[in-house]
Structure 1
Amino acid sequence: MEQNHCTGVRSAEGWRPPHDFRGVRTPSVQASRYSARVTMVTPSDHLLRTESGLEEKVAVVSLARPDVRDIVGQAAIVRYPGPDGKPIDHTLDFVEEMVDDSRVAMIVKPSATADKRGTRGVLKAVAAHAPASVATRFVLATENDVSPAQVANARLIHAVRTLGPAPDDPAVHAVAACVRGPMTIGEAVERSRTHAEGFRAAVRLLADRRLVTLSKGRITRRTLVGPAGEDAR
């Protein structure tokens, strides 16, 4: 079954559909027995379709990070020589476009599959033969890079960003501007005299790195937060 996280774009002129896929190949909507298809909209208002549950988790976590500007699926095909000298074409799963203008190419595989198929060797070969324009760094992303808490927090950030600013945001922003030490999100919401919208406003501040989490795990009202620049425990 295909899941669809597409919302299109809301503007003063009304709703408009997102742009088409940016990659060199558009994944089919037809999922196999052991795969999944999820379609979402990236910050640049382009469609992105993942081909497995792990790819979807990696993409959602990437897009929740403040240092990632956008992500492109099936971003480039890199040709490298195989063990017998014959050329092999590899399509990169993702390329993250970072806010500092660097690009991070990713191969996404479950760790057991990566070990069995020698994916780290493939990654090394792809990195050695890819044009400089493809990426500045090449990484292997496995399930070990996206914990359940990271995925849950990324989905929460995606949800509050989709909802957009609310009337209670300025009250929470005012409290956050005065934060000098650790406090829970619940305490910040209480000080701002807001309720559910206050919680969502606090999550938007975390997404924008105007506040940082000081405790690990899923983001809840009990999560400790502090001013930007402090390290998470």
Structure 2
Amino acid sequence: MLSARVLVLLVSCLTVFCEDSFLSPCDITDTECLRKSTQTFLAKTAAGVPEYDIKAIDPLIIPSLDILFNEELGMSNHYKNLTVVGLKNQQLSSFSLNKETKAVELQTKVNLVISGDITLEAKKKEKSLPGTISIKGSALCTAKYNYNFQTDDKGVSHFVLGPEIITCDPIGDPDLQLNPELVKDIKEATDLKEEKVYWGSHREENYKKIFCSIVGEAYVTVVHNIRAAAKVLPKEAFLKDL
């Protein structure tokens, strides 16, 4: 009965999924199989598959992002049109699935190049400085979520992913560069002495906060694509013996 159900889905599923080996089902403990299957999934979906709500991840565009650093001083960064490159080359670092609690932990290593527009805001001084930013960095990204199973109207069982919790652990210090004009404007902003003192004493942690905030925002789309694929493919296409 199961093989018949899977056949029904395979007849109707997207060509890139079926004919081009979108995924390879793996044992939960087979790290090498899981690594290769993850790479295949990323490579074949990096440009997006709109028909199945799978979004492009490389490049990935983040329209806007705001990061608050110091509420008292009103120091924050506002980003527009961030372009994130490198997600399709991320490497599986670890994977665990607990059949009893139905908890999953997925971790990958990413090496990213990020660029876009930035506005530095010092709200206390009613001052904003616009410019551009580029970042290079690496991190371990971890997504934790629970799963369940749901049978569709064709009798095929699918994974259903619960809400995810995403964490980012930088590997080394990210390389962050502002355009020369913005650097010049910051140096010449004599009215921002208090803000400069704060930033100077928190530079390293703020750089990591910037990088990981962007990485976390991007990784939401990575998990979204896994969730979207799970709606299309039977659970047996992902993992064996579940």
* TM tier, smaller: under 0.3
Higher relative contact order (CA 8 A, sep 6+): 2
Which has more strand, going by share of residues? 2
Q: TM-score, normalised by structure 1?
A: 0.25
Larger radius of gyration: 2
